[in-house]
Chain A
Amino acid sequence: MTYRYFPGCSLKSSGRAYEESLLAVFRALDVPLQELEDWNCCGATAYMSVDEVRAFTLAARNLCLAEQSGAAGNGGTDIVAPCSACYLVLLKTRRYMTEHPDLAQKVQAGLQSVGLQYQGKARVRHPLDVLVNDIGLDAIKKRVTQKLGGLKVACYYGCQIVRPFPTFDPAYNPTSMDRIAAALGATPVHWPLKTRCCGGTLTGTIPDVGLRLNRILLKEAKRRGADVMITVCPLCQFNLECYQNEIRRQLHEDVGLPVMYLTQLIGQAFGLSDSALGLQRLFVPPARVPAAQEGGKVANA
């Protein structure tokens, strides 16, 4: 089945490494991911708080486009949204369209003016969901050439993909990313902060609050011996990686820890090149723990 890939703004800008590694990994797994033609802004949380109807209409247009391309014989209508904000907004739109007929009517009217009609056929999927439930851990395991033996990984899910709609993972203790990491040969560390706030946009607006939240995650992951933190959200990755110097300066705490996208870690285990995974774009040098490298080679020898 072909998935409709919805990049959203982040994966084309600050999160380019996410796009590069995601596409590379899906290619390596032979799973077609086709970028949705003429997609538009998901609206994210900002638009939603200003004008609900327009925000939902904006998001619904993307769902309509996915329905159309599916119907045109290009495979499935499932829309894959790697950015947590896009994923949540599209998911929320889909639910609201069935649960709130008043709103749906207004949105449909808006869509009609550009010749679209929302039918509710496009399912909203997160790459984690597709990797674990459609592709499966066995297929991922088979593709591994460079086992990450010994690498200790703190899996960080962020707040949006399991809350408030836990569609593929429990809200309080999601495990899908941990299971993938284990399939790659890495060791997921047990920690209770998988879905705790990364600071979100507060790092930009109220930095002293944002940085504190940020610090909690990095510090605890380090305390538990993680070699690397992996995530599936461009904003989380940005927050956790790019403010480490600032935390050192302001809060006098050495929180240095590589923060990578899950797909970059998978790509490494698949033996893909650094540039194909956008590793050169990371601020903190990626996890290359000698033990992990050696362990991997030994395991494969």
Chain B
Amino acid sequence: MPDTTPTNGTPRIGFYVCHCGTNIAGTVDVKGLADYVATLNGVVVSREYKYMCSDPGQELIQQDIREQKLNRIVVASCSPLLHEHTFRHATAQAGLNPFFFQMVNIRENVSWVHTDHAAATEKAKDLARAAIRRVFSHKALEPKKVPINPAVLVVGGGIAGIHAALTLGNAGKHVYLVEREPTIGGHMAMFDKTFPTLDCAACILTPKMSAVKSHPNITLWTYSEVANVDGYVGNYKVKVKRKPRYIKEDLCVGCMECVTACIYKDARFPDEFNVGLSKRKPVYIPFPQATPQVVLFDPETCLQLKKGKCKQTCIEACDRECIDFTQTEEFKDIEVGTIILATGFQPFDPTKTPYYGYGQYPNVYTALEVERLVNASGPTGGEVVLRDGSHPKSVGIIHCVGSRDEKTNRWCSRVCCMYSLKLAHLVKEHTGAEVYNFYIDMRTPGKGYEEFYDKLLKEGVHFIRGRVAEVTDWAMEPQEEGKLVVRVEDTLIGTVRRVPLDMVILSQGLEPRADAQDVRRLFNISCATEGFFLERHPKLAPVNTFTDGVFIAGACQGPRDIPDTVAQAGAAAAEALALIDAGHMELEPNTAFIREEDCSGCKSCVPLCPYKAISFLEDKKKAWINEALCKGCGTCVAACPSGSIVQNLFEDEQIFNEIDGLLSELAQV
């Protein structure tokens, strides 16, 4: 029922104090508070009740609205974050515009933080009085509804992006999947086995990659990046840059004749997919199951592209005439309603911990390099060998490289204990070497994870507890000569140990991508202090961001393993689907707007808005706030030199009333 209460009608206020069991009533004299508020101007009803959020509590309010003709409601209870929505809904159900409701937080702000009962009750009275005065100037507001475009943009084609795209595509929604690299698959495609089940990563991933490629609802753009994002929830306008592959993607079938024909007879450039452990040619397909199965030319190494001079034997070899050296960047404009960011992580660069010798001693490897070494399709066909081709007889795995470390990254990267165990198992299986794990704490929470750790203990893998001091090559004893020596304090036996080894693996931590800040700005979301994308709520809105319609999934939000990543990707897809299927989204009406007659067009507000909601209308020389983008932070309201910006629910009069109410009793002292 539409509300027709005039904003200037005589206020008839209902006030309700919640006991919250003993949470509030144990500290605040709730009866005294209700009695006090009953004496205030405009208050018609003042009650206290055990649980205002319960059905009978809400019914109490609704009954009073109907019978006492209340047109303002104030509830003194917990934080508005918890139950504002509940009471607004109850108010609306009884036919009153929900924005005539105001909440007073006397739990988090009073009873939970004070022990002096009398003083706490006085503070509760002050806050209640402020709210009573505030609602005098409340007005009826209507939430704005924006339609939701059903198309979705998924950024990042790792396992998170792939899973989200397939979920949405299967639900019949159109998905644009944009991936920066020439193939989808992400880090997971580089792994050999997955913990703790030891199933082959490629075997479970590549079917999903093919499914993406052939899905009628998915537009896959690899070797592409999002260049610009405009608009707001439900109505995003996105520009995607497609980098030139110098290949007509729709014609190429991945026969690789051009690769064979390349003027470079031998592969001589570091292969990105094998993290530099093997070589590729200037024209290549990243790996056998790359999706799409389309070659690309690397402009940095291809003679034709770099120097403009080559016999172009590749063109002769291609009978489908796919090669086109004149290709340039192409931009695609798309419209989507929601966006899922699944841009992943980057592994920690171990040259930042020089005491572990990476880059200095050839037989110090990163975990990712060893993933490629143990992989049957890797550079050595699955043989774990040292740089000179010999087989290691002793291998050490150093945990927490670039994790849990004041000098590098402070966070736990969550996956390293488990992947180190997996690599320990695989290396032992492949080589029969003695394998040592150097760990600070073993962290194996997850289904079957602790059992996997137990299995490794039984397999005879060695575990030494202590943060490694250094990896070095100076020998104290003859048996150390020619070996890498790990120096570590074994904190379980309380002594410094020197462990001579043939091979050392550094378990790199996970960190935000180097350009996470640029991506954050592009999509107008926030990063936490360490640089991972910030979720709206760490527990209750883990895949939402502070920008409506933009969701995050996977390791771009923080280090996580494959099961958690897939779960989050599914959750992000479900959040997007919920918006799409609702057809529209209701926006909080606490937005700011410009009073055009007062706006001097000074543009002070435009750059201040953290949500890019303010634009400048050149024709009128006035600022304009897009309600759909405004989050009601109030920055522009405070900054406007001519006072021409007003924010719903936070109008000057409302704030001043609140202050008056708060101070009125004090003035009498």
Chain A 63-97 interface 0/1 with B at a Cβ cutoff of 8 Å (1 = within): 00000000000000000000000000000000000
| In the complex, B651 has a CB within 8 A of chain A | no
**In the complex, which of the residues B473, B476, B481 contacts A192, with contact meaning CB atoms closer than 8 Å?**
B473
| In the complex, B269 has a CB within 8 A of chain A | no
**In the complex, which of the residues B354, B470, B475 contacts A220, with contact meaning CB atoms closer than 8 Å?**
B475
Contacts of A165 in B (CB 8 A): none
**In the complex, which of the residues B354, B470, B475 contacts A223, with contact meaning CB atoms closer than 8 Å?**
B475
Contacts of B355 in A (CB 8 A): 172
Interface size on B, residues (CB 8 A): 11
Contacts of B475 in A (CB 8 A): 220, 223
| In the complex, A273 has a CB within 8 A of chain B | no
The chain A residue sitting closest to B474, CB to CB, is A220
Contacts of B354 in A (CB 8 A): 170, 172-173
User: What is the bound-complex CA distance between A216 and B472, given in angstroms?
Assistant: 13
| In the complex, A193 has a CB within 8 A of chain B | yes
* Interface core residue of A172, A191, A223 (most chain B CB under 10 Å): A172
Within 8 A of B (CB), among A179-196: 191-193
Contacts of B474 in A (CB 8 A): 191-193, 216, 220, 223
Chain B 445-482 interface 0/1 with A at a Cβ cutoff of 8 Å (1 = within): 00000000000000000000000001011111000010
Within 8 A of A (CB), among B212-233: none
Chain B 268-292 interface 0/1 with A at a Cβ cutoff of 8 Å (1 = within): 0000000000000000000000000
Chain B 336-368 interface 0/1 with A at a Cβ cutoff of 8 Å (1 = within): 000000000000000000110100100000000
Q: Is the CB of B473 within 8 A of A216?
A: no
Contacts of B357 in A (CB 8 A): 192
Least Cβ distance of B481 to chain A in Å?
8
* Interface core residue of B472, B474, B481 (most chain A CB under 10 Å): B474
User: What is the bound-complex CA distance between A172 and B355, given in angstroms?
Assistant: 7
Least Cβ distance of A265 to chain B in Å?
23
Chain A 141-159 interface 0/1 with B at a Cβ cutoff of 8 Å (1 = within): 0000000000000000000
Least Cβ distance of B597 to chain A in Å?
53
User: What is the bound-complex CA distance between A220 and B477, given in angstroms?
Assistant: 11
Contacts of A216 in B (CB 8 A): 474, 476
User: What is the bound-complex CA distance between A199 and B90, given in angstroms?
Assistant: 77
**In the complex, which of the residues A170, A192, A223 contacts B472, with contact meaning CB atoms closer than 8 Å?**
A192
Within 8 A of B (CB), among A206-229: 216, 220, 223
The chain A residue sitting closest to B354, CB to CB, is A172
Chain B 476-491 interface 0/1 with A at a Cβ cutoff of 8 Å (1 = within): 1000010000000000
Chain B 18-47 interface 0/1 with A at a Cβ cutoff of 8 Å (1 = within): 000000000000000000000000000000
Least Cβ distance of B504 to chain A in Å?
14
User: What is the bound-complex CA distance between A234 and B148, given in angstroms?
Assistant: 76
The chain B residue sitting closest to A192, CB to CB, is B472
User: What is the bound-complex CA distance between A223 and B481, given in angstroms?
Assistant: 10
Number of A-B contacts (CB under 8 A): 20
User: What is the bound-complex CA distance between A192 and B474, given in angstroms?
Assistant: 7
- Kindly state the interface size class of chain A when it binds its partner: under 10
User: What is the bound-complex CA distance between A170 and B353, given in angstroms?
Assistant: 12
Contacts of B476 in A (CB 8 A): 216
Least Cβ distance of B12 to chain A in Å?
61
User: What is the bound-complex CA distance between A238 and B473, given in angstroms?
Assistant: 26
User: What is the bound-complex CA distance between A193 and B470, given in angstroms?
Assistant: 11
Least Cβ distance of A273 to chain B in Å?
36
Least Cβ distance of A107 to chain B in Å?
29
Contacts of B360 in A (CB 8 A): 173
Contacts of A170 in B (CB 8 A): 354
Contacts of A223 in B (CB 8 A): 474-475, 481
Least Cβ distance of B184 to chain A in Å?
39
Contacts of A172 in B (CB 8 A): 354-355
User: What is the bound-complex CA distance between A130 and B470, given in angstroms?
Assistant: 30
Least Cβ distance of B469 to chain A in Å?
11
Least Cβ distance of B355 to chain A in Å?
5
Contacts of B470 in A (CB 8 A): 192
The chain B residue sitting closest to A196, CB to CB, is B474
Within 8 A of A (CB), among B412-469: none
User: What is the bound-complex CA distance between A170 and B355, given in angstroms?
Assistant: 12
The chain A residue sitting closest to B360, CB to CB, is A173
Least Cβ distance of B354 to chain A in Å?
4
The chain A residue sitting closest to B353, CB to CB, is A172
Contacts of B472 in A (CB 8 A): 192-193
Contacts of B473 in A (CB 8 A): 192
Contacts of A192 in B (CB 8 A): 357, 470, 472-474
Least Cβ distance of A118 to chain B in Å?
32
Chain A 253-286 interface 0/1 with B at a Cβ cutoff of 8 Å (1 = within): 0000000000000000000000000000000000
Least Cβ distance of B303 to chain A in Å?
37
Least Cβ distance of B556 to chain A in Å?
31
The chain B residue sitting closest to A215, CB to CB, is B476
User: What is the bound-complex CA distance between A123 and B226, given in angstroms?
Assistant: 49
The chain A residue sitting closest to B470, CB to CB, is A192
Chain A 90-117 interface 0/1 with B at a Cβ cutoff of 8 Å (1 = within): 0000000000000000000000000000
Within 8 A of A (CB), among B221-262: none
User: What is the bound-complex CA distance between A220 and B475, given in angstroms?
Assistant: 7
The chain A residue sitting closest to B476, CB to CB, is A216
User: What is the bound-complex CA distance between A108 and B481, given in angstroms?
Assistant: 54
Least Cβ distance of B127 to chain A in Å?
41
User: What is the bound-complex CA distance between A170 and B470, given in angstroms?
Assistant: 16
Least Cβ distance of A222 to chain B in Å?
12
User: What is the bound-complex CA distance between A192 and B475, given in angstroms?
Assistant: 11
Least Cβ distance of A197 to chain B in Å?
13
User: What is the bound-complex CA distance between A146 and B64, given in angstroms?
Assistant: 104
User: What is the bound-complex CA distance between A173 and B355, given in angstroms?
Assistant: 9
Least Cβ distance of A249 to chain B in Å?
20
User: What is the bound-complex CA distance between A193 and B357, given in angstroms?
Assistant: 13
The chain A residue sitting closest to B356, CB to CB, is A172
Chain A 163-176 interface 0/1 with B at a Cβ cutoff of 8 Å (1 = within): 00000001011000
Least Cβ distance of A189 to chain B in Å?
11
The chain A residue sitting closest to B471, CB to CB, is A192
Least Cβ distance of A168 to chain B in Å?
17
Least Cβ distance of B483 to chain A in Å?
13
Least Cβ distance of A30 to chain B in Å?
36
User: What is the bound-complex CA distance between A223 and B354, given in angstroms?
Assistant: 23
Least Cβ distance of B479 to chain A in Å?
14
User: What is the bound-complex CA distance between A223 and B475, given in angstroms?
Assistant: 9
User: What is the bound-complex CA distance between A192 and B484, given in angstroms?
Assistant: 11
User: What is the bound-complex CA distance between A173 and B476, given in angstroms?
Assistant: 20
User: What is the bound-complex CA distance between A193 and B473, given in angstroms?
Assistant: 10
User: What is the bound-complex CA distance between A172 and B476, given in angstroms?
Assistant: 20
User: What is the bound-complex CA distance between A79 and B362, given in angstroms?
Assistant: 41
User: What is the bound-complex CA distance between A220 and B357, given in angstroms?
Assistant: 18
User: What is the bound-complex CA distance between A130 and B220, given in angstroms?
Assistant: 58
Contacts of A193 in B (CB 8 A): 472, 474
The chain B residue sitting closest to A172, CB to CB, is B354
Least Cβ distance of B375 to chain A in Å?
32
Least Cβ distance of A176 to chain B in Å?
16
Least Cβ distance of B407 to chain A in Å?
11
The chain B residue sitting closest to A193, CB to CB, is B474
The chain B residue sitting closest to A224, CB to CB, is B474
The chain B residue sitting closest to A173, CB to CB, is B354
* Interface core residue of A192, A193, A216, A223 (most chain B CB under 10 Å): A192
User: What is the bound-complex CA distance between A223 and B478, given in angstroms?
Assistant: 11
User: What is the bound-complex CA distance between A191 and B475, given in angstroms?
Assistant: 11
Contacts of A191 in B (CB 8 A): 474
Least Cβ distance of A253 to chain B in Å?
12
- Please, could you name 20 A-B residue pairs with CB atoms under 8 Å apart, sorted by A? A170-B354, A172-B354, A172-B355, A173-B354, A173-B360, A191-B474, A192-B357, A192-B470, A192-B472, A192-B473, A192-B474, A193-B472, A193-B474, A216-B474, A216-B476, A220-B474, A220-B475, A223-B474, A223-B475, A223-B481
For the complex of A and B, the 10 pairs showing the least CB-CB separation, nearest first, are A172-B354, A192-B472, A220-B474, A172-B355, A192-B474, A193-B474, A173-B354, A192-B473, A191-B474, A223-B475
Told that A192-B470, A223-B474, A223-B481 touch, could you supply 7 new A-B pairs with CB distance under 8 A? A170-B354, A172-B354, A173-B360, A191-B474, A192-B473, A216-B474, A216-B476
